[in-house]
Structure 1
């Protein structure tokens, strides 16, 4: 209806090789039914499940180059 207030949209950014970025605050419901909450302005949600702080991204998805010893 034209007279109803419009709720502002929350931005979701999908990256090619990293987390999903959400404008916060957010609540994430996990597959076991528990809820994780973040009050941050922007939060990175892990999609690779390698994060030690899942569901939040800790950049574990980044490839770590091994040093070569000569």
Structure 2
């Protein structure tokens, strides 16, 4: 795993930065749900709730994948 060191404004905590980074990396499919949850420091279930709060879908199917999944 790579390490990253950042200087954050006083109003942004390290935890907030980790969570927001994990959300974005999950959203752009760079991390799995489990990886993003670990990065954020939460269980998968808790991270799923955080994703919902930020209106990030947990499942992102393409139209074709959704059609295959539903079977129509």
TM range (shorter): under 0.3
Q: Which structure exhibits the higher relative contact order, with contacts defined as CA atoms closer than 8 Å and separated by 6 or more residues?
A: 1
Alignment TM-score, normalising by the size of structure 1: 0.23
User: Normalized against structure 2, the TM-score is what?
Assistant: 0.23
Larger Rg: 1
